[in-house]
Structure 1
Amino acid sequence: MSIQRILVADDEESIRWVLRKALTKQGFTVDLAADGEEAKTFFKRRQYDLAILDIKMPDLSGLELLRYFQEQRPEMLVIIITAESSMKNAVEAMKLGAYDYLTKPFDLDALEAIIVKAQKAAAAAEEVHRLKTELKEQYPLDRAIIGKSKPMQEIYKILGRVAPTDVTVLITGESGTGKELVARAIHYNSPRVGKDFLALNCAAIPSELLESELFGHEKGAFTGATERKIGKFEQASGGTLFLDEIGDMPLELQAKLLRVLQEREITRTGGSSSIPVDVRIVAATNQNLREQVAAREFREDLFYRLNVVPIAIPPLRDRRDDIPLLVEYFLDRVREDLNVGVQGCTKEAMAHLRRHDWPGNVRELENTLKRAALLSSDQLLTPNDFPGLVPEPARKETDESLEALISNKLLATFAPMDVNELNNLYQMVLHQMERPLISIILEKTRGNQVRAAEILGINRNTLRKKIQTLDIDLKEL
């Protein structure tokens, strides 16, 4: 945003005349208001990049007008002019959001210097806004995390509510489910998007170094501390700090983290002064922290501080409907990053992928697809391209007759029930047996009802009635 249109409000006509002449000469479009109410009317009609307001005016003072402008358009820059060079006026103006102020009589060169500085500030603000917009476009909730299953839809709802706030979030889930992706989605859809997102894996750093990584240290704090180190809390100032595998944090360090969450300040190792920090905490773990609390391996007070908003990410085996979407997404990325020609999977391969339990979750699926796409010479991946997956468990061979199998199934189903609670059992059992039998025969005959009726030994009209009564969908066969 460059400064183009300026609103000047001053009850002295000579001041208005001088300002208009000087500002117009610099290429600005200038509107003049003789009092606060007139300035307010101009403001409602047009968009201004900068306002120059006298403090003392009829009707509305410059400070009252400043307050109104800040409520309506906080991005607009305001310079205050005052005839009283009192600290009270200056402090009040700056507290209300003024960009700068001048005291009468003022030098036009001083005003020009302030406007030049304001131009740079406006350009910087525009760049920050652009970066925030780009980041939000790159990391929208529905693109950062892939999935349309019901469990994922619930997670999206939670993310939509917590992202704009500053509440602490605890993300739980098995390894490879995408906990860091969720944490990033929270950050990039929050007001902190223009600041840093820093991630720290508490399990990957030795306990004796973890404190220094988090809080930093002063020179000479310990052997090898040859210079001051700024920790993650200070580095992430104004942004988000993602503490992964929080369940592996040592107990003594948990106490220090708790203090930071309570006091919003840190002390570097070897230091004595407190340093205020403005950081949003998002933590994650693949462990059961409640069990760790019960075993006294994790502080209960810290658990409740972190668990303000819990988000539990389901394992991939509990959202198999998302596998086709994930496959499409990862293969698109593989084609782009590795320049391979794989276009997708055959139906058999997709069924193969959906049957697998994916103990490594989404991360395992991504790596499996990447490996298959690199090694395959075909455009469509087949089950043969996934030799490392656990095959479908083979059915156990049995010598039991069909009658024995049905008898055992009926016993297992109805034995626990009270006989007095059962009604119309004969029809119910027949209904449950008829439907799969007729469906299988129709599937085998490819929907040929004449042939199916012959195989079943019933009349064709009887078969048609049973198809309707049993609600068999011929399109699905």
Structure 2
Amino acid sequence: MSNGRIILVDDDRDHLRAATDWLTVNGFEVLAFERAEEAYKAIADGPVDLVLTDLRMPGIDGMTLLSSIARKKPGLPVILLTAHGDVSLAVEALKRGAENFIEKPYNAERLVTILVKAIEKSRMSQEIGRLQKLVVEKDNEASAIVGDSAAMRALRQRIAALAQVEIDVLIIGETGTGKELVAQALHRQSHRAEAPFVAINCGAIPESIFESEIFGHVKGAFTGALSDRQGKFEYATGGTLFLDEIEAMPLSMQAKILRVLQERVIERLGENRLRPVDVRIVAAAKTDLSAEIASGRFREDLFYRLASADIRIPPLRDRAGDIEQLFRHFASLAARRYGQPEPNVPPPLVHWLVQQAWRGNVRELKARAERFALALDKDPQDIMSGTEAAALPEQVSQYESRIILAALERNDGNTAQAAGDLGIPVRTLNEKIKRYGLRPSGET
């Protein structure tokens, strides 16, 4: 097996021939050139592991060749052969990106050792880069916003438009619809993508430590504060702070958050110093907060400050056409993650999936898909709980009832509007509602 493919450049023919023979004997594939111009063409045309070049040559010298390689083939190791008096120049070459330099006359065994180590280092760096890229691609795939329905296409367009605007955003969607996924997409597509994305679940932090968690504290601010501590706002500097379940934020904290949104400064607990913060706020709520505002549990001024731009995520029941794609996507990801074969999703199972209510939305569907991929659920026929064994009229009735229920929910129970969406008379809709027990007939 070859130790590596080397480009050797030297205008000294005797040295070029001797070095080529020696390196070939030691397991290297060597392409030898007397002129840097010819060597550079070979570098551009094919795979190369390392370039070993003399520093001083007529025409294009080793330093110029190094600069050209650094521009066109970054990461390709270059080792310079120098005369004793060129050491200072070789040191300058190291600053410009050379891997190493060797003084002539050199020890032939040492030359081989240096080349082997340089190529191993380069290959390891390339492999790390490949794995990192693979991880990023998998992360991107896992965090993709999946769905080809009109609602999801509109959602992606909305995200793309708002990502480029420096404005705080409120995301509204039922539990399990993917609010954090949307927040992450806003972050990734913004100019803040290289800075932190910090997520806080406002419903999971006890009120007694909420201020310390968000704003940080100084030593001695309270019993147990043994040192200064940076809060989430400071930690997210330059990036995005995601406030999930904003409706659960303690009322006492809402005025302080409002001030931060308006002035972009924070005070650590126990400190009088104002600290500027550069963050974008993305908040999320399960509803439009109108009920919370009416009951006095949520500040109206904070709502309007957060909702200067909003993104509404449709529930899964309103985009049944995406269910099959989502199920296959999550099942495939789970299979690959745990080394399982690509799952086969039979048409009857797809039919059954589309008919389900999915009250837990995409989160519930994802959990079902992962269990299916890992064969943790029963046989698909058992999963469907006898749906396929039902007579055709019963299947049609089940399907129709779900369509009607979805139309009613879209229109807040208004049967006239729902009938318009479905393209049927109100009287017909009321009869079907009564037949399926969805709602007492005549209720609007």
Q: TM-score, normalised by structure 2?
A: 0.56
Name the counterpart of 1:214. 214
Q: How far is 1:362 from its partner?
A: 0.6
Name the counterpart of 1:375. 375
Q: How far is 1:223 from its partner?
A: 1.5
Q: Cα distance 1:261–1:392, how it changes in 2: closer, same or farther (>3 A)?
A: farther
SS at match of 1:344: coil
Name the counterpart of 1:282. 282
How far apart in 1 are the matches of 2:211 and 2:390? 47
Q: Cα distance 1:349–1:137, how it changes in 2: closer, same or farther (>3 A)?
A: closer
- Alpha-carbon deviations, 1:246-295, whole Å to 9, x = none? 00001110100011111111000001100010001110011331221122
1:363 matches 2:363: yes
- Is the Cα–Cα contact under 8 Å of residues 349 and 383 in structure 1 kept in the other structure? yes
- Alpha-carbon deviations, 1:362-411, whole Å to 9, x = none? 11111112223323699xx623135599x999969xxxxxxxxxxxxxxx
Aligned residue type for 2:329: Y
How far apart in 1 are the matches of 2:97 and 2:283? 40
Aligned residue type for 1:197: F
Q: Cα distance 1:331–1:141, how it changes in 2: closer, same or farther (>3 A)?
A: closer
- Is the Cα–Cα contact under 8 Å of residues 336 and 342 in structure 2 kept in the other structure? no
How far apart in 1 are the matches of 2:257 and 2:344? 47
- Alpha-carbon deviations, 1:70-113, whole Å to 9, x = none? xxxxxxxxxxxxxxxxxxxxxxxxxxxxxxxxxxxxxxx9xx99
Map residues 162-241 of structure 1 onto 2, 5 A cutoff. 162-241=162-241
Q: Cα distance 1:369–1:167, how it changes in 2: closer, same or farther (>3 A)?
A: same
Aligned residue type for 2:381: P
How far apart in 2 are the matches of 1:144 and 1:246? 24
How far apart in 1 are the matches of 2:306 and 2:356? 34
Name the counterpart of 1:307. 307
Q: Cα distance 1:371–1:191, how it changes in 2: closer, same or farther (>3 A)?
A: same
Identity %: 43
Aligned residue type for 1:385: I
Which of 382, 385, 390 in structure 2 is aligned with 1:384?
382
Cα RMSD, aligned residues only: 3.9
- Is the Cα–Cα contact under 8 Å of residues 179 and 284 in structure 2 kept in the other structure? yes
Map residues 117-136 of structure 1 onto 2, 5 A cutoff. none
Aligned residue type for 2:380: T
Map residues 312-461 of structure 1 onto 2, 5 A cutoff. 312-341=312-341, 343-375=343-375, 382-387=380-385
- Alpha-carbon deviations, 1:343-368, whole Å to 9, x = none? 22211111111100101111111111
SS at match of 1:238: coil
Name the counterpart of 1:269. 269
Name the counterpart of 2:293. 293
- Is the Cα–Cα contact under 8 Å of residues 215 and 266 in structure 2 kept in the other structure? yes
- Alpha-carbon deviations, 1:101-130, whole Å to 9, x = none? xxxxxxxx9xx99x96999xxxxxxxxxx9
How far apart in 2 are the matches of 1:217 and 1:28? 55
Q: Cα distance 1:388–1:264, how it changes in 2: closer, same or farther (>3 A)?
A: farther
How far apart in 2 are the matches of 1:222 and 1:341? 55
Aligned residue type for 1:257: I
How far apart in 1 are the matches of 2:246 and 2:226? 29
Q: Cα distance 1:28–1:327, how it changes in 2: closer, same or farther (>3 A)?
A: same
Name the counterpart of 2:104. none
How far apart in 1 are the matches of 2:326 and 2:277? 38
How far apart in 2 are the matches of 1:249 and 1:148? 34
How far apart in 1 are the matches of 2:137 and 2:193? 11
How far apart in 2 are the matches of 1:269 and 1:336? 46
Name the counterpart of 1:252. 252
Q: How far is 1:244 from its partner?
A: 0.3
How far apart in 2 are the matches of 1:234 and 1:287? 28
Q: How far is 1:137 from its partner?
A: 6.2
1:148 matches 2:184: no
Q: How far is 1:164 from its partner?
A: 1.7
How far apart in 1 are the matches of 2:173 and 2:192? 25
Unaligned runs of 5+ in 1: 1-23, 30-47, 50-108, 120-129, 397-428, 430-477
Q: TM-score, normalised by structure 1?
A: 0.53
How far apart in 2 are the matches of 1:306 and 1:156? 20
How far apart in 2 are the matches of 1:189 and 1:318? 26
- Alpha-carbon deviations, 1:165-198, whole Å to 9, x = none? 2211111111111000000011011111111101
